[in-house]
Amino acid sequence: MPEITMPRLSDTMEDGVVVAWLKQVGDKVTRGEILAEIETDKALMELEAYDDGVLDQILAEPGTRVPIGSPIAMLGDGSGTPAKPAPAVAAPATSTDFTSVPLSNQTPSTVTAGAAPDDRRKSSPLARKVARELGIDLDSVTGTGPGGRITRHDVESAQPASVPPVPAPSTAPVVAASGDYEEVPLTTVQQVAAKRLTESKQQAPHIYLTSAIDVTDLLAFRTDVNQTLQSAGTGKVSINDLIVKAVAVTLRADPAVNVSFDGDKLLRHRGIHLGVAVAIPAGLVVPVIRDADRKSISAIAAESREKAERARARKLRADEMTGGTFTISNLGMFGIEQFAAVINPPEAAILAIGAATDQLHLIDGEVVTRKILRVTLSADHRAIDGATAATFLQQLKDLLEHPLRIVT
């Protein structure tokens, strides 16, 4: 009978975490039924059965990270004798994903002579490091940590009084003593974001350009639009919705920023697919509004609200968070006036939106209060030079300060 393997549920997925099994061993399974919930690098997704049968064996318990293509369960005919699973494919180790290997599975050369098989679990890595530096035999140290675990303090307390402590190198990071912190595992979304954004900062030379935009007329325009929409019985639009539309219109008129860097060439995207960053408890996700330049402001507003709600409920599909060509990140609702965002690869630019603030301006000899919004464009200098980025911001500023042009 067939085995159930970890499927590829997104284009960037390398492995997945089994969150929960919705079927138990011995349950009948029909093709198309939901077997389990899988957390990918994008979202929480459902795993469908591709065959009929009986769930004879679960190979990956909830919380287990499994590489793509490795078996996670076995289907049988209900006889209780499941087929022998294929050997699991080992996942490549990354800086955020390690698999613990019991000492009993290691070669003799990796085990300290005379040490008990579970010594590694009874001492922290920092305690073992300090013990090596001080020449302390861990067998002579009494652990005061949970379950008798040996801590750094235990090792330092056991060192002979005649031997001064070995000072840590001045460049070494300060490590909090055990008990002074709580370890919080990263979610899959956070792990992937950490990996990809680190690569972005290391590989893409970021340049940052900030523009101060007078949005006094834009705010008035939004009020008029919402009054019209309210009369029609439809939802309201936000300032962010207007900015999304304005960015789409700007990219349509000048697509030089709607690109990706690809080695010895640029990929100039025909479609304008705008990612809108949404913060959720599991991390940061970026739903994509496809062909934003072809959609009305009200359509963009409705789609943004709907996808943001489903993003917070972890109900977005992987295809709804891929294929973006340009991203917008807005922290204005938190009172942040200005910030610089990290480019979301393989895109070449991201626009950071701050809060609109009151500022005094001299207009026609009179001092007046105007609403000023600061936006910062982060651009990949390999694909977008300073003049190109400045031209984009200049056009966007002109559009937002004359909002009627957004819809004409």
CA distance 7 to 146: 38
CA distance 360 to 381: 35
pLDDT of residue 110: 36
Burial (Cβ within 10 Å: 0-12, 13-18, ≥19) of residue 192: buried
CA distance 279 to 312: 8
CA distance 115 to 213: 67
* HSE-CB of 164 using CA atoms within 13 angstroms: 3
pLDDT of residue 259: 96
CA distance 34 to 37: 8
3-state secondary structure string, the chain?
Answer: CCEEECCCCCCCCCEEEEEEECCCCCCEECCCCEEEEEECCCCEEEEECCCCEEEEEECCCCCCEEECCCEEEEEECCCCCCCCCCCCCCCCCECCECCCCCHHHCCHHHCCCCCCCCHHHHECHHHHHHHHHHCCCHHHCCCCCHHHCECHHHHHHHCCCCCCCCCCCCCCCCCCCCCCCCCCCCCHHHHHHHHHHHHHHHHCCEEEEEEEEECHHHHHHHHHHHHHHHHCCCCCCCHHHHHHHHHHHHHHHCHHHCEEEECCEEEECCCCCEEECEEECCEEECCEECCHHHCCHHHHHHHHHHHHHHHHCCCCCHHHHCCCCEEEEECHHHCCCCCCCCCCCCCCEEEEECCCEEEEEEECCEEEEEEEEEEEEEEECCCCCHHHHHHHHHHHHHHHHCHHHHHC
Whether 273 is catalytic is no
CA distance 327 to 219: 22
* HSE-CB of 75 using CA atoms within 13 angstroms: 18
How many residues in total does the chain contain?
408
- φ and ψ at residue 383, rounded to 5 degrees: -110, -25
Burial (Cβ within 10 Å: 0-12, 13-18, ≥19) of residue 15: buried
pLDDT of residue 355: 97
Quick check: 103 and 111 in contact, CB under 8 A?
Answer: yes
CA 263 from chain centre, in angstroms, equals 24
Quick check: 5 and 71 in contact, CB under 8 A?
Answer: yes
Q: Which residues pair with 373 in a beta bridge?
A: 213
CA distance 329 to 352: 5
The amino acid at residue 126 is L
Quick check: 195 and 94 in contact, CB under 8 A?
Answer: yes
CA distance 267 to 259: 5
pLDDT tens for the chain, 408 residues: list them: 578 888 877 666 778 888 888 888 888 888 888 888 888 766 777 788 888 888 888 988 888 888 888 888 888 876 654 444 444 443 444 433 333 333 333 333 333 333 344 444 466 656 676 677 677 887 778 877 656 767 766 777 775 544 444 455 555 555 556 678 888 888 878 888 888 899 999 999 999 999 999 999 999 999 999 998 888 878 899 999 999 999 999 999 999 999 999 999 999 999 999 999 998 887 888 999 999 999 999 999 999 999 999 988 888 888 898 899 999 999 999 999 999 999 999 999 999 999 999 999 988 889 999 999 999 999 999 999 999 999 999 999 999 999 999 987
Among 269, 361, 381, 402, the one annotated catalytic: 381
Structure tokens at 403: 């909002």
CA 271 from chain centre, in angstroms, equals 24
